[in-house]
Chain A
């Protein structure tokens, strides 16, 4: 009962905050709303016994990515939202497309089958601690994808350096 109550609160808060993020006219206010949103997502992870993911969610998203967003917004010094022309003219068309997508999603929910439970049940994760289990599986079963992701990130870092240096030279 208590667990369901917490979940319902978090889910409702996440939906409401997401709407608030995209409706604020001041970009800094929408950043702050997004910060609160990230904390609710982290709390959702905690209720799922995934405390490592919760901490990483806060460190990476709230601590790093959102700060960089904030930097850009502050440097642009946008006090109010810029008013731009609509990309698409008639809005009923957009609503129709969104409703169609909603219908497709709701219909496809029926054919949703939960996957078979694996080796890592809640009890195993709790006994071994989330961090250890995640590390073990990441560096054994998923080692190859992990290395591929690292390479992609390295390429992105080198690309960023090259772009930044080019501008300096000119």
Chain B
């Protein structure tokens, strides 16, 4: 609410100062996250390469370090092909919805103590709301392309995201109950009195449910049915090319970073670590982020894809009851203690 209240009193020096600070923060966060998105692709190819006893990208720059930049330039200058029978306005707007939904959540994530663009009271709900918006980009992309494969991919993705969103939301309720707040900064501060400064141990079930739901929610392997390349070519974005395809790509990796960040804030103690690193307050946050991103890739390299009915069974019959059980247990323990 700080921003809106500040915006109510225009003309003052404080008002302009606040706006300037917010704009600078937005530019810094955007720049840093875009760089992370670019190098997340490099990190993924290298990790999976080495796990499969290959080298991964090696050609562009030393050890292929410039590969993401080369990929970016390639995508930017590729021809933009639009299917003739597609619904053009929806086709254009779908990747933008995906990207906006992913990037907006960055506003509420506290990277270190005091550094957050919008310190709102309902931060956790805001992230859930934006992640549910992401499914629109996917469904609309699948529908507007006017292609069987994209449409199937879009429908699968919608069903998957709706199912796993419930489990994800419920798994975070335990965290809200323990910290008594939905503000992400407050949640991190509430964890300081718990073992290792984390909610991980008191909320072990919730963390388990959250991790699995997040992998499904971001359409990553082994739950990547919406873009199952062996059956649906590439799922909902088959018909997209050039930078429009690039936007979907950026949205997916940003969503991964957001979900990992929420996991860090809610279960792994946010910016706090076993000891303080001087001058780099965000060091622990980013170290935890890299670890979680590695876990995503590790799971992708290890597990084969799930069958569709198994995926639905897991979501509705295992994860949701587990998350509900966690809420009941957390409530009872909180009342007793």
Of all chain A residues, the one with the shortest Cβ separation from B130 is A58
- Residues of chain B within 8 A (CB-CB) of A74 are 139, 143, 151, 154-155
- Return the CB mask of B132-160 against A: 1 if under 8 Å, else 0: 11011001100110000001001100100
User: Contact at B125–A52, with CB atoms within 8 Å?
Assistant: yes
Interface centre among B135, B136, B151, B162 (most CB of A within 10 A): B136
Interface locus among B2-10, B31-39, B61-69, B74-82: B2-10
User: Contact at B128–A59, with CB atoms within 8 Å?
Assistant: yes
Give residues of chain A (17-57) contacting chain B, Cβ–Cβ below 8 Å. Answer: 26, 28-29, 32, 35, 46-47, 49, 51-52, 54-56
- Residues of chain A within 8 A (CB-CB) of B126 are 55
- Residues of chain A within 8 A (CB-CB) of B122 are 51-52, 54-55, 130-131
User: Contact at A58–B129, with CB atoms within 8 Å?
Assistant: yes
Q: Is A67 located at the chain interface by the 8 A CB criterion?
A: yes
Q: How far is the CA of A130 from the CA of B10 in the complex (A)?
A: 25
Q: How far is the CA of A63 from the CA of B101 in the complex (A)?
A: 12
User: Contact at A131–B182, with CB atoms within 8 Å?
Assistant: yes
Q: How far is the CA of A166 from the CA of B198 in the complex (A)?
A: 47
- Residues of chain B within 8 A (CB-CB) of A63 are 128-129, 132-133, 135, 165
- Residues of chain B within 8 A (CB-CB) of A150 are none
Q: How far is the CA of A54 from the CA of B89 in the complex (A)?
A: 28
Q: Is B192 located at the chain interface by the 8 A CB criterion?
A: no
A2, A59, A71: the one contacting B125 at CB < 8 Å is: A59
Q: Is B51 located at the chain interface by the 8 A CB criterion?
A: no
User: Contact at A130–B121, with CB atoms within 8 Å?
Assistant: yes
B191 to chain A, nearest CB (A): 19
Main secondary structure of the interface of A (DSSP, over half): helix
Q: Is B329 located at the chain interface by the 8 A CB criterion?
A: no
- Residues of chain A within 8 A (CB-CB) of B16 are none
- Return the CB mask of B107-128 against A: 1 if under 8 Å, else 0: 0000000000000111001101
- Residues of chain B within 8 A (CB-CB) of A62 are 129, 132-133
Q: Please count how many residues in chain B sit with their CB below 8 Å of the partner chain's CB atoms.
A: 34
In the complex with contacts A46-B4, A49-B1, A51-B1, A59-B129 CB distance below 8 A: yes
User: Contact at A59–B121, with CB atoms within 8 Å?
Assistant: no
A169 to chain B, nearest CB (A): 19
Q: Is A3 located at the chain interface by the 8 A CB criterion?
A: yes
Q: Is A103 located at the chain interface by the 8 A CB criterion?
A: no
In the complex with contacts A2-B8, A28-B87, A58-B139 CB distance below 8 A: no
User: Contact at B139–A70, with CB atoms within 8 Å?
Assistant: yes
B5 to chain A, nearest CB (A): 9
Give residues of chain B (1-49) contacting chain A, Cβ–Cβ below 8 Å. Answer: 1, 4, 7-10
Q: How far is the CA of A1 from the CA of B15 in the complex (A)?
A: 15
Give residues of chain A (79-99) contacting chain B, Cβ–Cβ below 8 Å. Answer: none
User: Contact at A55–B90, with CB atoms within 8 Å?
Assistant: no
User: Contact at B1–A126, with CB atoms within 8 Å?
Assistant: yes
- Residues of chain B within 8 A (CB-CB) of A46 are 4
Q: Is A136 located at the chain interface by the 8 A CB criterion?
A: no
Q: Is B295 located at the chain interface by the 8 A CB criterion?
A: no
Q: How far is the CA of A129 from the CA of B193 in the complex (A)?
A: 23
Q: Is B93 located at the chain interface by the 8 A CB criterion?
A: yes
Q: Is A64 located at the chain interface by the 8 A CB criterion?
A: yes
- Return the CB mask of A58-76 against B: 1 if under 8 Å, else 0: 1100111001001100100
- Residues of chain B within 8 A (CB-CB) of A2 are 7-10
Q: How far is the CA of A35 from the CA of B132 in the complex (A)?
A: 12
Pairs of residues from A and B, 10 with the lowest C-beta to C-beta distance, nearest first:
A63-B132, A55-B125, A58-B129, A55-B122, A59-B129, A129-B121, A51-B122, A55-B129, A2-B8, A2-B10
Instruction: Using A29-B90, A32-B90, A129-B121 as known contacts, list a sample of 13 further A-B pairs with CB atoms less than 8 Å apart, ordered by residue number in A.
Output: A2-B8, A3-B8, A29-B89, A55-B122, A56-B125, A58-B129, A59-B132, A59-B169, A63-B135, A67-B158, A71-B158, A74-B143, A74-B151
